[in-house]
């Protein structure tokens, strides 16, 4: 049987899986990798990835293609890496074609958040939608967009920098890691939620604990999750007024508190839309969660 090797490459580890063309994960692999080294060079990256993939391929001779989600900006759907914010030495790398010639099989590679969008569209909550906006709520907030069934990258692979939409313009707007102010990411990402909870309680716990506290009645945690829904809805309205896309899926830890998040999100979304769009937008919780990226990477080659 022909199988796909899919990988979701993060800063500190690679998740990989062997996947059937129907989207069934038959075997999962996770490995530490030193991509958190900001100084990794192009050649070192290729060597590490080829070694990692070769080990899996040699054990599974049915693998016929590799799909990869990677934290970087790609030129269209060419597999050409323009740049990667967290790996600044990587610029203009023929990543897909270098991996393909080293591994001797087809390799496709695309932005990780865009892969998650493709996963949701092919196998998850956005199944069958020709137009889909997907958000990944993690330490940052990523976004992926599919228009007319095609992953949309923008001119330099930087489309859907959703986390940096502004939801505050006043002098008190929170500062963001991008250098700007008022970005939705600085209010509603896991990092922001941990920070906001600490500001209110002087207790530093991770976002997952805060979601759980919120669901069990902690009023400060509840308020932070609910207001995060409000901020996400406000930013989503801006995207919908520009894109007129009617299907949204959301994955990531914060969706664990969906019953607190969703009502505020949808209220704020509709309140900020023009009247003919109000009530028309469907916002669904991911059905794939952590696997959206892996399955979307597989969709690149199937």
What is the contact surface with its own copies in residues (CB under 8 A)? 73, 83, 85, 131, 145, 147, 152-162, 164-170, 178-180, 234, 237-239, 241-246, 271-272, 274-277, 280
Quote the least distance from Cβ 60 to its own copies, whole Å.
Answer: 37
Residue whose C-alpha is closest to residue 8's, from 67, 82, 93 = 67
Nearer to its own copies, 167 or 265 (CB): 167
Q: Are 172 and 287 in contact (CB under 8 A)?
A: no
Nearer to its own copies, 136 or 272 (CB): 272
Cα–chain center distance at 11: 13
Instruction: Return the beta strands (E) in the chain as ranges.
Output: 3-9, 13-19, 25-32, 63-70, 73-74, 81-83, 91-93, 107-111, 132-137, 141-147, 150-151, 247-252, 282-285
Nearer to its own copies, 152 or 197 (CB): 152
Quote the least distance from Cβ 146 to its own copies, whole Å.
Answer: 12
Quote the least distance from Cβ 202 to its own copies, whole Å.
Answer: 28
Quote the least distance from Cβ 9 to its own copies, whole Å.
Answer: 20
Angle between helices 219-243 and 190-201 (to 10 degrees): 140
Distances, alpha carbon 147 to alpha carbons 68, 134, 222, 224, 253, in Å = 20, 12, 35, 33, 26
Nearer to its own copies, 128 or 276 (CB): 276
Quote the least distance from Cβ 238 to its own copies, whole Å.
Answer: 6
Nearer to its own copies, 178 or 220 (CB): 178
In the chain, % helix, strand, coil (3-state, to 5) comes to: 40, 25, 35
Nearer to its own copies, 272 or 291 (CB): 272
Quote the least distance from Cβ 214 to its own copies, whole Å.
Answer: 24
- Give the residue carrying structure tokens 């990794």: 40
Cα–chain center distance at 97: 23
Nearer to its own copies, 116 or 221 (CB): 116
DSSP conformational letter for 277: G
Quote the least distance from Cβ 79 to its own copies, whole Å.
Answer: 18
Q: Are 25 and 291 in contact (CB under 8 A)?
A: yes
Tokens of 62: 């049915």
């Amino acid at each position: 049987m022909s199988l796909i090797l899919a990988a979701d490459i993060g800063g500190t580890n690679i998740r990989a899986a062997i996947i059937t063309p129907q989207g069934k994960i038959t075997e999962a692999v996770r490995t530490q990798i030193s991509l958190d080294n900001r100084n990794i060079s192009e050649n070192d990256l290729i060597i590490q990835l080829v070694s990692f993939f070769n080990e899996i391929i040699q054990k599974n001779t049915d693998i016929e293609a590799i799909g990869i989600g990677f934290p970087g900006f790609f030129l269209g759907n060419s597999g050409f890496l323009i740049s990667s914010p967290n790996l600044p030495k990587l610029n203009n790398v023929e990543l897909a074609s270098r991996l393909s010639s080293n591994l001797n099989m087809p390799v496709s590679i695309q932005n990780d958040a865009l892969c998650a969008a493709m996963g949701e569209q092919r196998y998850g909550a956005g199944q069958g939608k020709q137009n889909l906006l997907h958000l990944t709520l993690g330490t940052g907030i990523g976004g992926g967009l599919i228009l007319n069934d095609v992953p949309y990258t923008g001119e330099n692979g930087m489309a859907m920098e959703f986390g940096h939409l502004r939801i505050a313009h006043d002098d008190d707007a929170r500062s963001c890691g991008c250098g700007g102010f008022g970005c939705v990411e600085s209010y509603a990402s896991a990092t922001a939620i941990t920070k906001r909870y600490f500001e209110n309680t002087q207790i530093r716990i991770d976002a997952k604990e805060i979601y759980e506290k919120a669901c069990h009645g902690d009023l400060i945690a509840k308020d932070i999750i609910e207001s995060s829904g409000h901020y996400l809805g406000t930013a989503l309205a801006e995207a919908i007024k520009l894109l007129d896309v009617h299907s949204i899926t959301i994955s990531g830890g914060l969706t664990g508190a969906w019953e607190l998040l969703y009502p505020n999100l949808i209220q704020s979304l509709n309140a900020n839309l023009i009247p003919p769009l109000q009530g028309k937008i469907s916002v669904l919780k991911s059905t794939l969660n952590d696997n959206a990226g892996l399955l979307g990477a597989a969709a690149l080659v199937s």
